[in-house]
Chain A
Amino acid sequence: MERHLAEKFPRRHNRKLYSFSIAVILILATLSFIPVPTNAASFTASLDRDSIALGESATLTLKFEGDLPQSEPSLPEIPGLNIGSALRNSIDLNINGVPSSILTLTYSLAPQHTGDFTIPALTADVNGQRLATAPLKLNVTQPQVPMAADIKSGSQIAFMKLTLPKTNIYTGEVMAADLRIYYRQDARLAQPPRLTDLPVAGFTVGKIASSDQSQVQIGNAIYNVIPAKIALTAIKSGPLSIGPIAVGLLLDVPSENQPRDPFFAQFGVHSPFFSGEQKQVALATERVNVESLPLPVENVPADFNGAVGNYSMTTTAGPTNLATGDPITVRVQISGRGALDAITLPNQAAWNDFKIFPPTSKVETTDQLGLEGDKTFEEIVTPQNTDIRALPPFSFSLFNPDDGKYHTLTQSAVPLAVHSGGATVMPAIAVNKNSAGENQTPQDILPIKENFGTLETKSVPLIVQPKFLAMQSLPVLAFLAAFIWRKRTDSLANNPRLRRQRAVAQLVRDGISDLKNFAVENKPEEFFATLFRLLQEQLGERLDCPASAITENVIDEHPVLRGAPKTTPDDLRELFQLCNQARYAPVRGSSELNSVAAQFEKTASELQNLKT
């Protein structure tokens, strides 16, 4: 090397410079291989198991290291694979003074069928960098059905059995499949069993009912039994199969290091301080072959509409004495065992003279699966004419799988007495008066109105409004007033004496007023002239004789005055004498004239009250 350097760099200074450069380059290269603590992010995905049995679940873990994503990735939908909610776990670290984080997202994956599932690559944005995971594969296999010997030995922690009442059924027949789940007594259910697969092609599944758990000894082990029944109805004929049915169990099983507490074990229960491990167990039944027989094609009743089962029928109908158009309620009760929900009433061809309304139905079952009970129909029919004498027989045909034959259940005819009811009023045909032809039948209603019109307010009718009714008394009162006025007027016109009485009374009233004025003005001549006239008028009216004929003498002569108070004639004489004296006597003073006026007023009042 030195010779090479010597040849290349003959001068000593240049050789040193070259060696120094080589050393720096070597140091830098070495340093580049030393990991420098930085915040580089990573995103990975992993499965705890890549192969599981149907009924078990796998765990998918997504892990972010270093930097955290701006948003957590969302898993795509994978058909046939149930993905649970994410469990999030985050840890913050400090590595050699550099902060870092680890984010873990855990998902539970529960497959719904066997096969291969692919979890695609997932992407996430981390610190401006787009990271992706590798795709993952999950293989789901059919759970293994344990061997009978293994079951008998009691070594199986759990297993399942499917039993069918029969393997030859008719199309449309319903049966109850018996499914039993067994799990060993030393384990306990962490959650209810999960039915993950129920392959029943060619059947419809009805209700699933479970009953109380029991215990059974198999081999040397005691098992808890969860019984369940499944209602299955064959919907097509030919070879069918049921199963393998798959169920997933999650059991708490004791760990090998912790045996069962013998104190609690003697009672068949776990210690409250039980702590073991959870174990997923995938159970499967055998596939059971079923032959679905087609219904016979011979001797099929005309009204057979697919009812398969063992049924009886009762019917009632009423009322039986009615008018045309009145309803008859027909109640049909189908009782027995079969697919009750699927039963429908057949058309009754003989009921042409009746109008039939759509029936209503009600099902009452007596078992958990709904295979036994009653279905009651209520149908309204109305007779259309009076010639009807009876409700024709009601028939219902069924196929009984127990004897393999068709049967027709018939209710005999119900006598009816139908009479004519109210005639239907033939409505008048609507004719638009604005239409061109008078006899033109309208084909549609007239169009809507564009204007809202007058707003109507809801008010009490006028005829019950008190104020309105009170106002109607006004013309009556006016008439009464006019009537009374007329009567008074007529009464006066036919009674001259009364007229004179009123006229004289008015005259006297006015006269008294004049007398007072004359007295005040001290006019004795006018005073006594007026007084004399008034005396004549008043006495003339009372005595029913002309006023001009009245003198002082009438006081003694006329018998009417005899009925007057004793002072009245004396007062009258005095007044007459005063009038006579006034012609000759000297002038009197105002006060004397006033007293005379007062005396006359009193006397006139007594005369007016005098009965004549």
Chain B
Amino acid sequence: MTRVVEVPATFDDRSFEQFAGAFGAWPPEEKILIDARGAQWSSPYGLLAMLTAGQALAEAKRERPLFTVPLSDDVKRYWARAGFFHYAAELFELHGKVPKAAVSGPSDVLLDVTPVRATEDVHEVVEKISQGASRILHGELGLEMKATLRFSMALSEACQNIVEHAGTSGWVAVQAYTFRRRLGRRVVVIAVSDAGIGFRRSLESTHAKRFGERWGDGTALEAALIQGVSRFRDPGRGQGLAFIKRFLDQWKGKISIRSGTARLAIVPPWDEDIPLGEHLPFFPGAQVQIIIPAQDAEAR
């Protein structure tokens, strides 16, 4: 038996739930076929979600999943240039012709799909992003120059969460695009995803007791993002997400974290997302999305 998981035509954090729900109970017993033939567009979040699913299946020692590539040449080319197929080929049995990746990604890809396995990778990510971040954040989005450094700090802290808490490796990608439907402006989006133990399990041994029966994926996310708790006893821990929140508040940005069966978002005025979603379909690890919008003339 093969279970077909259809990739949403427009794959972003909203349509993610459709993707996650298609796996059924985790890890699925059947062989998985991820069908991306109908895909028309994917955010970095969507690209990383597909890789994370492949990684989680490999780590659960399931049969190597199949992946049918998009029919659209434009979509295929874009995904190739963002580095997606390079890593997808390691995790999936690819079906369909994959274009050769360009030497460098498209100009709105600030950071190709990049694995985060160890501390050295975080250094590499910060080094790479610093080269293009100023052009996009200051030049296109109208943020102050100092925002470029804060952006790199936010990226560094988000990537470190994988190394320190996931118990396995993960992925990061950064892209700029126009958010037509929700905002009508340019945005920069950081997506970070891992197939690890998730927030609930990471915090369970040190924090579950005080929450009693309320403890779950949602409360674990609230504890980490709102209360700044960490699984480490070290009082200096838990400041990374607190900083990201403060930085985003200043720039009217948005952060959402999905882990296990819950999703928590700090929702800016321009968005209509729900702050906390619970009892969602299970998906392994943690998925973080950070959105920084172009500043309106008033804010500049």
Is chain B found bound to chain A in the same assembly? no
Chain A positions within 8 Å of B, measured between CB atoms, are: none
Chain B positions within 8 Å of A, measured between CB atoms, are: none
